[in-house]
């Protein structure tokens, strides 16, 4: 079972952020090799924080040595190589990790793409969830694999391919 906790600061537009985050995390997980998490007896928890550019800037500087805000940060709580065995927990709960989005960066990117902030945030939450599941995009092969999964998860929500300018193999 999947549980998503959402915290959001003022400044984010009026959207049902809890529902959006729940749907985005669920879509990512069910389009991954960890789809069984959605029906396991164990409770898989993800926290999503919608906050200010300033807070994300501070986190980015503290944890990634990058002195600027970014659109999304992910903080996995389970090592990727241990994800398969997580359903055997002592208390039945698995904290997958935290996802943090920056409102100003997200809004500016959404405007540049000509999409709603909610649709862009859904993409960023899906992207962040794949990071919690051990995916990365440090090289071209990793990026293509992760983007293909993101595209499939977004399509399941009725959202378009954000990477439409690139050809993704396997999709």
151, part of any domain: yes
Structurally, the chain folds into a number of domains equal to 1
Residue 123 is assigned to a ligand binding site? no
How far from each other are the two terminal CA atoms of the chain, in whole angstroms? 27
The residue-averaged pLDDT of 42-49 equals 93
Give the HSE-up count for residue 139: Cα atoms under 13 Å, Cβ half-sphere. 1
Q: What is the pLDDT of residue 171?
A: 36
163, part of any domain: no
Q: Which residue has the tokens 């669920």?
A: 26
The CATH number that applies at residue 124 is: 3.40.390.30
Residue 127 is assigned to a ligand binding site? yes
62, part of any domain: yes
170, part of any domain: no
Q: In what order do the strands lie in the sheet with 93-102?
A: 2-8, 43-51, 93-102, 72-76
Domain containing 73 equals 2-157
The residue-averaged pLDDT of 137-162 equals 89
Q: How many CB atoms lie within 10 A of CB 116?
A: 15
d(CA 138, CA 149): 16
Q: What is the pLDDT of residue 169?
A: 41
145, part of any domain: yes
Residue 120 is assigned to a ligand binding site? no
| pTM, rounded to two decimals | 0.90
């Amino acid at each position: 079972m999947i549980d998503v906790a959402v915290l959001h600061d003022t400044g984010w537009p009026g959207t049902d952020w809890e529902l959006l985050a729940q749907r985005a995390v669920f879509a990512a997980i069910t389009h991954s090799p960890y789809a069984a998490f959605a029906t396991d007896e164990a409770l898989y928890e993800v926290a999503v924080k919608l906050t200010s550019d300033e807070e994300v800037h501070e986190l980015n500087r503290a944890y990634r040595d990058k002195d600027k805000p970014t659109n999304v940060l992910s903080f996995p709580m389970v090592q990727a190589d241990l994800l398969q065995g997580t359903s055997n927990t002592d208390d039945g709960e698995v904290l997958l990790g935290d996802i943090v989005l920056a409102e100003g960066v997200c809004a500016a990117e959404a405007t540049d793409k000509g999409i709603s902030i909610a649709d862009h945030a859904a993409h960023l939450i899906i992207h962040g969830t794949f990071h919690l599941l051990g995916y990365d995009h440090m090289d071209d092969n990793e990026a293509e694999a992760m983007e293909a999964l993101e595209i499939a998860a977004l399509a399941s929500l009725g959202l378009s391919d954000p990477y439409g300018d690139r050809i993704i193999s396997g999709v």
